[in-house]
């Protein structure tokens, strides 16, 4: 009988048990050493190291201290309830995400992602606040000025208080659309919410009141309005119409001004449209406009993406001939 084989197996298993036990002891010792080590400091990173729009390190530290988390330095790391601290930070409506952890140097790392507003709302009672793309309500920031779509006449002091999902969804959809389109974000100054929960838009150029209807089919409505600008306004001028109605599917109903339109208006019409686009470009740096807010993420209006609008080229003689035919 060969007794070497069982002995080899026994010593092999024993060796692995010793190695495993030693590794476990070292791991426990390392964990205990880390837990008994002291916090060496606090580092706050906002928006992955990018620009912080609303918060700074001092404000983040103050949030924690106001909730009883004091003396961050020279405390044992095991005494920190990181999950509780994260929840404290998330109570701030400007903070979308908060993650806390200790690095190898026992420095407490605080990583924060700020919310990005998409619209400013004015309520019928006179209050004002911002909302993000998820409909989270935020106080108006004191330090940073944005240029955002402005909605007036919102029926409640809190967004979504009555769970009017249709109106709230339409506000968010319209806000996101305008934020992503430099042309319309420059042209549309205000969207008034009527008691019938439809939208009435005030343009930057032109004196027309634009009855938008509800927020359904908003992309098609803006497409029709752009075609109207290119094919009609570019020929007649903004002054010929006092009202536009986009509420009906597949059409635009226009209210004509009663006064006679001069021939000079026709010649200048295309220049008015192009001036509107130039204003859209300038509004990126103009903080004095009525619309306060510049989106955090908005594509810059350039000559390349302006071509996608396919606006007519200036041709004064052709304008006059078409105007004469219309008369």
Quick one: pLDDT at residue 3? 57
Under CATH, which number does the domain 41-114 receive? Answer: 3.10.20.310
pLDDT (tens place) for every residue of the chain, 327 residues total: 555 577 677 667 667 776 777 676 666 655 555 556 888 888 899 998 887 778 888 888 888 887 767 777 778 888 888 898 999 999 888 899 999 998 888 888 999 999 989 999 999 998 999 999 888 998 886 666 678 999 999 998 888 766 668 999 999 999 999 999 988 998 999 999 999 999 999 998 877 889 999 999 999 999 999 988 888 887 777 778 888 999 998 888 888 876 544 444 544 555 666 666 566 556 544 433 434 444 333 333 333 333 344 433 334 444 434 433 333
Closest CA to 113 of 143, 83, 131, 92: 92
* pLDDT at 198 (0 to 100): 95
CB neighbours of residue 315 within 10 Å: 12
Those residues whose C-beta lies under 8 Å from the C-beta of residue 50, and which sit 6 or more positions away, are: none
Q: By the 8 A CB rule, do 96 and 46 touch?
A: no
The tokens for 206 are: 């032109």
In residues, how long is the chain?
327
* CA separation for the pair 211, 9 (Å, rounded): 87
Written as six digits, the tokens of 229 are 């600008």
Measured CA to CA in angstroms, residue 210 lies from 6, 229, 234, 283 at distances of: 92, 13, 17, 21
pLDDT value at residue 308: 40
Domain boundaries, the chain: 41-114, 117-326
Q: Specify the pLDDT at position 260.
A: 47
Q: How far apart are CA 250 and CA 248, in angstroms?
A: 6
Contact 51, 43 (CB under 8 A): no
Residue with tokens 């509800």: 214
Is the overall model pTM greater than 0.75, yes or no? no
Give the residues across from 203 on adjacent strands.
188
- 3 state SS for the chain: CCCHHHHHHHHHHHHHHHHHHHHHHHHHHHHHHHHHCECCEEEEEEHHHCCCCCCCHHHHHHHHHHCCCCCCCCCEHHHCCHHHHHHHHHCCCCEEEEEEEECCCCEEEEEEEECCEEEEEEECCCCEEEEECCCCEECCCCCCCCCCCEEEEECCCCCCCCCCHHHHHHHHHHHHHHHCCHHHHHHEEEEEECCCCCEEEEECCCCCEEEEECCCCHHHHHHHHHHHHHHHHHHHCHHHEEEEECCCCCCCEEEECCCCCCHHHHHHHHHHHHHHHHHHHHCCCCCCCCCCCCCCCCCCCCHHHHHHHCCCCCCHHHHHHHHHHHC
Neighbours of 30 (CB within 10 A): 10
The pLDDT, as a whole number, for residue 207 is 78
N- to C-terminal Cα separation, the chain: 119
> What pLDDT sits at residue 178?
95
pLDDT of residue 319: 43
What is the distance between the alpha carbons of residues 82 and 103, in angstroms, rounded to a whole number?
13
């Amino acid at each position: 009988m060969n007794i070497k084989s069982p002995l080899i197996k026994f010593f092999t298993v024993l060796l692995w048990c010793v190695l495993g036990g030693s590794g476990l002891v070292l791991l426990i010792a390392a964990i205990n050493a880390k837990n008994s080590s002291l916090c060496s400091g606090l580092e706050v990173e906002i928006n992955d190291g990018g620009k912080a729009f609303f918060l700074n390190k001092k404000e983040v530290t103050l949030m924690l201290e106001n909730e009883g988390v004091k003396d961050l330095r020279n405390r044992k790391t095991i005494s920190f309830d990181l999950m509780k601290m994260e929840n404290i930070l998330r109570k701030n409506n400007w903070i979308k995400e908060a993650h806390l952890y200790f690095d190898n140097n026992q420095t407490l790392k605080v990583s924060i992602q700020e919310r990005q507003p998409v619209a400013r709302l004015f309520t019928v009672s006179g209050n004002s606040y911002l909302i993000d793309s998820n409909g989270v309500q935020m106080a108006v920031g004191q330090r940073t000025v944005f240029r955002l779509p402005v909605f007036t006449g919102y029926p409640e002091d809190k967004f979504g208080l009555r769970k009017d999902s249709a109106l709230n969804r339409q506000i968010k959809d319209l806000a996101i659309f305008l934020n992503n389109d430099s042309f319309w974000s420059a042209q549309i100054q205000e969207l008034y919410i009527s008691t019938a929960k439809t939208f009435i838009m005030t343009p930057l150029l032109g004196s027309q009141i634009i009855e938008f209807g509800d927020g359904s089919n908003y992309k098609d409505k803006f497409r029709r309005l752009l075609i109207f600008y290119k094919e009609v306004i570019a020929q007649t001028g903004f002054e010929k119409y006092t009202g536009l109605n986009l509420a009906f599917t597949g059409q635009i109903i226009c209210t004509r001004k009663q006064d006679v339109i001069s021939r000079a208006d026709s010649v200048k019409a295309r220049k008015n449209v192009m001036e509107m686009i130039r204003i859209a470009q300038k509004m990126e740096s103009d903080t004095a406009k009525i619309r306060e807010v510049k989106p955090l993420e908005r594509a810059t209006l350039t000559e390349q993406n302006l071509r996608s609008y396919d606006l007519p080229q200036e041709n004064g003689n052709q304008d006059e001939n078409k105007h004469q035919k219309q008369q």
